[in-house]
Amino acid sequence: MFELLLALAVLPLTLPALSLLVLTLAALRRAPGASTAQAAPALALLRVAVLVPAHNESVNVIPTIECLKRQLGPHDTLLVIADNCHDDTAALARGAGAQVVERQDAQLRGKGYALAFGVAQLRADPPDVVLVVDADCVLSDGAVACIVQRCAATGKPVQMLNLMSAGENAGLKLRVLEFAMLMKNLVRPLGSFRLGGACHLMGTGMALPWTLMASAKLATGHITEDMKLGVDLAVAGHAPQFLPQVRVSSAFPQDTGVAKVQKSRWEHGHLATLTEELPGLLAAALRTGKPALIVMAMDLLIPPVAFYFLLLALVELLTLSAALLWPVWQSAAVLLSLSVLAFGLAIGLAWWGFGRHLLSARELLTTPLYALWKMPVYLAYFLKKRSGWVRTKRDSE
């Protein structure tokens, strides 16, 4: 009986590995014929407003605006929210042809507040669809038309593929960061969408019908306001859709220290969202049995991969040591060993299917050292030294 209780005690630690493997296998599965939004109204009849929240983005805002202007029509709106800026972001954006509103509030800081301010500006003449694009991003050709059409056809939020690039000749740490983001923002959402028709929102490159955007709870200081918004919408019956055919792209800071700070903020937000939102999402998934909620809960169940690897390896080591001394621990040790195998298999399959251009096989085997590099990030989280909203330092600064 005690052996069974020990196995049940370690079961929660095995579920993320199983979820990761299932989502990875689904992502690798050959997709059916590409779907098209045939039921969408003609694009010319749809009006889109693009919100670009920007905080001291004078270095990046011009390429973003120029990219967006090429894809917008005469009746569309391109609105830059210059949020708590202390540089010439607003002036540059106006000069580039965007509409600009400026917001100053030293207390209520963060992207959620900026988006809420932007939505308020649209209420007098609302569009059909609102697209959010960060001020350091560019879109692939035809991305606006494609995502607006899908959003209008489904009446649901839509997330395009969101990837960051380490750039040519990048060092190993940055390429590992790029592979980790590829797993999180391509492999996992592709798997969850193919299994259950839903994915998490990623903050940039996301489109919402005006009716949903107008009623969304945006004005929060949550670090990952995008993920929380996606969970709230899914529970309300509006699960976000994934559109990997088009892409929003940005670049990692070339300074690995700055990239680590940026990644720390994301991962602290991920851990906070996991602890705060997962219980309710799991309850809703079990209560309704909706595939969309189930796959979103599976994805949210997976902690930051480096953190999960460290935790799983530590508990496995302790459990194997205990099993050598006390046979009652053997079932728990076997269960954890299978979890380690599933985790490693998921990483290997994701690399084989999507990441071989980023890392060699030998480099992939060194990624556990990357997890050790991240240990201070997780210690800071559990010591309550959590990252708030802090703008990422740009390469030119």
Q: What is the DSSP string of 349-378?
A: HHIIIIITTT--HHHHHTHHHHHHHTHHHH
The DSSP output letter for 159 is E
Q: Which helix H or strand E contains 50, and what residues bound it?
A: strand 48-54
Furthest CA-CA distance within the chain: 74
Q: What whole-number distance in Å separates Cα of residue 120 and Cα of residue 122?
A: 5
Q: What whole-number distance in Å separates Cα of residue 341 and Cα of residue 165?
A: 29
Contact 317, 336 (CB under 8 A): no
- CATH of region 49-127: 3.40.50.1100
User: Can you read off the two tokens belonging to residue 122?
Assistant: 């649209």
The confidence score (pLDDT) of residue 275 equals 81
Q: What whole-number distance in Å separates Cα of residue 239 and Cα of residue 195?
A: 13
Q: Which helix H or strand E contains 255, and what residues bound it?
A: none
Which residue's entry shows tokens 């569309």? 76
**Radius of gyration for the chain, computed over Cα atoms and rounded to the nearest angstrom:** 22
- Report the SS3 class of residue 346: helix
The confidence score (pLDDT) of residue 305 equals 85
- Report the SS3 class of residue 84: coil
Q: What whole-number distance in Å separates Cα of residue 134 and Cα of residue 144?
A: 14
The confidence score (pLDDT) of residue 9 equals 80
In Å, what is the CA distance from 57 to each residue of 60, 156, 170, 206, 393? 5, 30, 23, 20, 10
Question: 246, 203, 228: which is closest to 296 by C-alpha?
Answer: 228
- The number of angstroms, rounded, from the C-alpha of 30 to the middle of its chain's C-alpha atoms is 23
Contact 90, 102 (CB under 8 A): yes
Give the start-to-end residue ranges of the domains of the chain.
2-29+300-382, 49-127
Those residues of the chain that have pLDDT short of 70 are: 1, 30-44, 221-224, 254-269, 373-397
The confidence score (pLDDT) of residue 304 equals 84
In Å, what is the CA distance from 52 to each residue of 205, 246, 345, 378? 10, 18, 39, 31
Strand partners, 50: 78, 131
Question: 34, 84, 97: which is closest to 54 by C-alpha?
Answer: 84
Q: What whole-number distance in Å separates Cα of residue 146 and Cα of residue 152?
A: 10
pLDDT tens sequence across 269-303: 677 778 888 899 999 999 999 999 999 999 999 98
Half-sphere exposure of 24 (CA within 13 A, CB side): 24
